[in-house]
A and B are shown apart, each in its own frame.
Chain A
Amino acid sequence: DTAVSQTPKYLVTQMGNDKSIKCEQNLGHDTMYWYKQDSKKFLKIMFSYNNKELIINETVPNRFSPKSPDKAHLNLHINSLELGDSAVYFCASSQDLGQEAYEQYFGPGTRLTVT
């Protein structure tokens, strides 16, 4: 059983296009995240959602818009794609237990290539 799934796993598109990445978790977690891994493998938080509410927006351009239709889903829509958006995007989830921080479970990643 896949815990955190993302679609698609690979996405190649041209500059200026709009694209979406979907994420679903079947772990019953309350909190979901989007991370970006750049070409140097550096991972950085983009957004976190708790019970469908935005908690963290880490100075991400407005072209990136996350949407959480329910606790199990957190999608990422990107408008007007730029070359610099090329990266691997990871979705993750974790159980929210107040101040306790447990493991974040990561999806397989989506490699986005903008040409």
Chain B
Amino acid sequence: AQTVTQSQPEMSVQEAETVTLSCTYDTSESNYYLFWYKQPPSRQMILVIRQEAYKQQNATENRFSVNFQKAAKSFSLKISDSQLGDTAMYFCAFTASGAQKLVFGQGTRLTINP
């Protein structure tokens, strides 16, 4: 069974700083996908970024980028120039190819301070 671990329950940074959220996973699958979802206080789950395991290039979406280390089974999220609106719970998630379910980590509560 796959597992996803987020070792940082809470993080706090100042606005405009860069912050990195950690995620590790365990799987024996060779083809899989990794995601970061954001859940602000509104409770809505919002996709931040997606990474295909077969791609060596790290995914980026504007201020959000990942550091995907396949051999180490690590998938960290970097948020550059953090903004107050980035305050949220962040969930790392895994799905094996064709699995049709997401396995989530425990979440990291990120607070951006003014």
Residues of B within 8 A of A90 (CB): 45
Interface residues of A in 35-68 (CB under 8 A from B): 35, 40-45, 48, 50, 55-56, 58
Q: Judge whether B33 and A101 touch: CB under 8 Å.
A: yes
B97 close to A101 (CB less than 8 A) = yes
Closest CB of chain A to B94's CB: distance in Å?
A: 10
Question: Do residues B44 and A45 form an inter-chain contact, with CB atoms below 8 A?
Answer: no
Are A103 and B31 in contact, CB atoms less than 8 angstroms apart? no
Q: How far is the CA of A31 from the CA of B95 in the complex (A)?
A: 14
Indicate which residue in A44, A55, A103, A109 contacts B50 across the interface (CB closer than 8 Å): A103
Number of residue pairs across A and B with beta carbons under 8 Å?
59
- For chain A, the bracket of interface size reads 20 to 34
Q: Which of B19-27, B65-73, B77-85, B103-111 contacts A (4 or more CB under 8 A)?
A: B103-111
Instruction: Look across to chain B and name the residue whose beta carbon is closest to the beta carbon of A48.
Output: B100
Q: Give the secondary structure class of A's interface.
A: strand
Contact between B89 and A41 (Cβ–Cβ < 8 Å)?
A: yes
Contact indicator B47/A44 (Cβ below 8 Å): no
Is the CB of B101 closer than 8 A to any CB of chain A? yes
Whole-angstrom CA separation of A44 from B2 in the bound complex: 12
Within the assembled complex, what's the spacing in Å between the Cα atoms of A41 and B95?
19
Contact status B33-A42, CB under 8 Å: no
A56 B101 Cβ-Cβ under 8 A: yes
Q: Do B104 and A99 have beta carbons less than 8 Å apart?
A: no
Contacts A42-B107, A44-B104 given; indicate if A103 touches B47 (C-beta within 8 A): yes
29 pairs from A and B in contact (CB 8 Å cutoff): A31-B100, A33-B100, A35-B102, A41-B39, A41-B106, A42-B104, A42-B107, A43-B102, A43-B104, A43-B107, A45-B101, A55-B100, A56-B101, A58-B101, A88-B43, A92-B45, A99-B97, A99-B98, A100-B97, A101-B95, A101-B97, A103-B35, A103-B47, A103-B50, A104-B102, A106-B44, A108-B43, A109-B44, A109-B45
